Amino acid sequence: MIDLNDIRSAHKRIRPFVRRTPLLAATGLRRPVTDGDLHLKLECLQPSGSFKARGATNKLLSLSAKELSRGLVAASGGNHGLAVARSAHVAGIQATLFLPDNVAADKIAKIRDWGATAIVGGASYDEANAGARAFAEKKGATYFHSFADPLIVAGQGTVGLEILEDLPDVNVVVIAVGGGGFITGAGVALKAVKPSVRVIGVEPVGSPTLYASLAAGEVVSLPQITTTVPTMACKRTDDALFELSRTVIDEVVLVSDADMQAAANWLWFECGLAADLSGAAAIAALSTGKVSVEKGQTVVAPVCGAGLPA
């Protein structure tokens, strides 16, 4: 699907249009969440509020003038939609986003503020995605998959490159998982440059997409989604993406929605960071002991999405 060269090309391509986000050393904490040396990769500071800006920008910059002229369409739990809306605004073209019923109201408002059309309906990302695909077929709009497109995956992988450049001594990287594009792209970069790095995914108990597929040794479709976190709710990952992800992911752990809410509160109190629940997932895994990091080791937790504090 992709390799390190694809990620390096994406990094060069998107550099003028996205932010190289800070890697913040989490020091002076009242309530540490790990014995390790914790750093936060602040993807919540991207223009659209998440790492999704990287993949959407890489995809957009790879399109022909004809493809751009047809407008863009995508499905999203919120963050990919914001990234596509922002990319379309920069390019001066129209975007239409299909969103599930439980998407955060502030994200719907931001998508519309970027000038995109937001169509809300469906119980999950998968239902919204069916609507987006049908729209693309009927209207001829250019479809942006939220996690399985190689250009999207390569764009997300640039986070891994930046982590290694800024913190070459990193031992563990803990990454939130929705469909699996972010952890796969970042994992390819991390493992290619430093194979000893542990790459650990975090999923909701109510949407264990990669967890179940890795356990089965093949892609499985979840019978239902019970998490209330729309940015991490996906019934099935992509087959080609899964084959790559299983080569770069060391482990996937599960956390509850309540764990992620507590972690979002921790980020706001301890660091002054307004994260959505996916952005707090890595901290949830550390604070609950689902991921253990020894003293003397360095761990990076991407705060992958912004959100209003509860």
**CATH of segment(s) 53-143:** 3.40.50.1100
The answer to whether 4-50+149-302 and 53-143 have equal CATH topology is: yes
Tell me which residue of 209, 208, 157 sits closest to 183, measured CA to CA.
Answer: 157
- Tens place of pLDDT per residue across the chain (310 aa): 999 999 999 999 999 999 999 999 999 999 999 999 999 999 999 999 999 999 999 999 999 999 999 999 999 999 999 999 999 999 999 999 999 999 999 999 999 999 999 999 998 999 999 999 999 999 999 999 999 999 999 999 999 999 999 999 999 999 999 999 999 999 999 999 999 999 999 999 999 999 999 999 999 999 999 999 999 999 999 999 999 999 999 999 999 999 999 999 999 999 999 999 999 999 999 999 999 999 999 999 999 999 987 6
- Choosing among 3.30.70.141, 3.40.50.1100, 2.60.40.10, 3.30.70.100, the CATH entry for 4-50+149-302 is 3.40.50.1100
The amino acid present at 155, given as its one-letter code, is G
pLDDT at residue 106 in the model? 93
286 and 27 Cβ atoms separated by less than 8 Å: no
* Strands annotated E in 87-183: 95-99, 117-120, 142-143, 172-176
80 and 92 Cβ atoms separated by less than 8 Å: no
Question: Taking the domains of the chain in order of start, what are their residue ranges?
Answer: 4-50+149-302, 53-143
Strand pairing category for 23-25 and 37-41: antiparallel
pLDDT at residue 310 in the model? 65
Give the N- to C-terminal CA distance of the chain in Å, as an integer.
38
Residue 89 parent element (H or E): helix 79-91
pLDDT at residue 77 in the model? 96
Residue 198 Cα distances to 26, 82, 140, 175, 300, angstroms: 20, 30, 42, 11, 10
Distance CA 84, CA 75 (A): 10
Distance CA 199, CA 262 (A): 23
1 and 153 Cβ atoms separated by less than 8 Å: yes
